[in-house]
Structure 1
Amino acid sequence: MSDSPNTNNSPSTGSPSNLDELRETIDQLDTDILRLISERAACAQRVAKVKLTHDKGTVFYRPEREAQVLRRIMSLNPGPLDSEEMARLFREIMSACLALEQPIKVSYLGPEGTFTQQAALKHFGESAVSLPMAAIDEVFREVEAGAVNYGVVPVENSTEGVVNHTLDSFMDSSIRICGEVVLRIHHHLLVADTTRRDKVSRIYSHPQSFAQCRKWLDAHFPHAERVPVASNAEAAKLVKTEWHSAAIAGDMAAKLYGLTPLTEKIEDRPDNSTRFLIIGNQDVPRSGDDKTSLVVAMRNQPGALHDLLEPFHRHQIDLTRLETRPSRSGVWNYVFFIDFKGHHEDPQVAAMLEEVRLRAAEVKVLGSYPQGVL
């Protein structure tokens, strides 16, 4: 009887065979996925033809329809991928298919590498054509002029509060809010290859990012000069040419400008997030899980705020945000920006709005839109 090992019973002999079988299974699944994505893309092309047959000025991107599809995918997801990751994959498929019908042009608060661009790509997918603008009012103008289909602007941060410039831009504009996207904001301290890391004496960033990282900076770089700039992307660009400076910015800016994180996630609050609004020129039908935004001007009289909010309470409308801004016209003292759950076409919401119009000097519905899915 031979003393050589029994190779048939060796644990290692079964592994290559099983691995080959698993790889064959993966190859077959990839083939199936490829075929199904191609079938979906072809169906999207047929949808475009049907739309164009009935209306030459048709709108190809439907925010409410996309939200319904993504919610359905998340509800059906069996795992092991989590529901948000699965929805993100489907959003990219939908973005690529939509580009076959008509590529979406989106303006955003630039320059390239900002969190606003990241929010635009998160909402519309990588197949959208994104165009940076130098200021928030330029984003509004591009959308109003029809040069782009949609715009993306920041509206509030969980740490620093509202972006007043965005709210003020709505007061004189006919633009509608078509959607929202919430982005977790992670700030990194970035340096270039030429940076002498032990000699960092200057840090560039947007003022809001400095505010969101104030405690960390006080503890780790108390003597470094903090230089505010127009955007974190601009901060990253400046650091590229200096040996003694660093920038506070995110992953997209780091990748775009070839910088390396000296320290990651330096924001003071781990739940730091920013909400962005999607702006466009059309009303959005109900999706089944919606928000509405209003701007309301009230007369300067005792009990004005109570008179404004009482119909919301009585009709059991859930307010999610209430902000006060000074009136730029000088006619009314109080201007309120209000977000609440529901669509303006919902019966209880319509009844509430009718009462508010009777009590207010002016009411302007900025838009009803799907609540952010991702």
Structure 2
Amino acid sequence: MATGIISTLLYVFPYGRDSLGMMTASLVFFFINLAIFSIFTAFVLSKYILQPDRWKAHIANPGRALFFGTFPMGVCTLLNVAVDVIHTYFRYGGKRFLYFLWGMWWVVVILGCACCWVGVHAMSTRQKHSLETMAATWVLPVTTLTVVSSSGGILATALRHHSMYHALLTTVVSVFLVTIGLSLGLMILTVYLARLIIYGLPPGASIISVFLPLGTTGQSGYALTHIGTNFKEILPYGCPGTSPFLGGRNTGQVLEVVCLGTAFVLWSLATMWMIFALLALKNTILGNYVPFHISFWGLVFPNGVYANLTIALGVAFDSNAFKIYGAVYAVWVLLIWMCVSVRSMLALKEIVWSSGGQGENVEDGPSLVPSVKSTESG
């Protein structure tokens, strides 16, 4: 997800946009992302094939089960670049390739819905939670829907050149997904704010989780920018039996205004959470040594999503202020990705070269979630 959002930021970057250099750079990160995704997918599949009992154990684990939703979100980062860069810019594959990506998106829709409904259901029936141990990672199962929705908006934009019906269908499904994901996300974030006020900030490296609300609010806003544009271009949709709503002359323009206005509201909420997160880092990390952990990757995607939405609003409003701020923030996110990548490779080297090859188990260190009582056996 982190590498995928860097690829996205490169092709939406407001300065040098649509240039061969920026698109090539985005494509490089796309293939890096594809390689990482493929390798770790193979690892995960091998794990559950060789140890099938771990599947149920992980579902029952109140910390690890939340991260199942990152799989479809990772796929979405690949789909977005495949549509906008490979298909639209480099004109690879034509209509068949686009519809292949569209078919993959429907698979991700099913996976995202399963992560949301089954994930939330498992949280209430098979896991033990408390307000004190709550973390922002609770939003991960529902944020999956907002990420899938944004991919649907991107696909609908490309599908408009081939089938207005398919574009409209994809846009409507995207509205359905972002409505559910955003609604549940705001409910959870309300509880999370109460947890922060009552029990204080998460300890150690878990403090990184305070940036996760940017993903929920920012990705929802980004999805709505595409949804609004698609409604404006698709409507009025004329065919026999079309409803007065779909055939209305001004319906598309009204929906675009509503979507862009809502996207700005969500950007404002994301900015609020970003300021809270920076204050939390100042209070926790500055002056205190926090050892590096894999959870530091949680810094990249939420901040990248926030930068992405900022740039999208800059384009929609033709605002230099949004474009400059979004560009600076995107560069900052790239620097974070580079720092975390280098530190991750150094940590991997330490594990490989540790005595007897017995490196520390990454699951034993701090994570994005506070310590909880696990129901996992074994």
Query: Whose strand fraction is larger, Structure 1's or Structure 2's?
Result: 1
Name the structure, 1 or 2, with higher relative contact order (CA <8 Å, separation 6+).
Answer: 2
Higher alpha-carbon Rg: 1
Give TM-score, length-normalised by structure 1: 0.27
Length-normalised TM-score, structure 2: 0.26
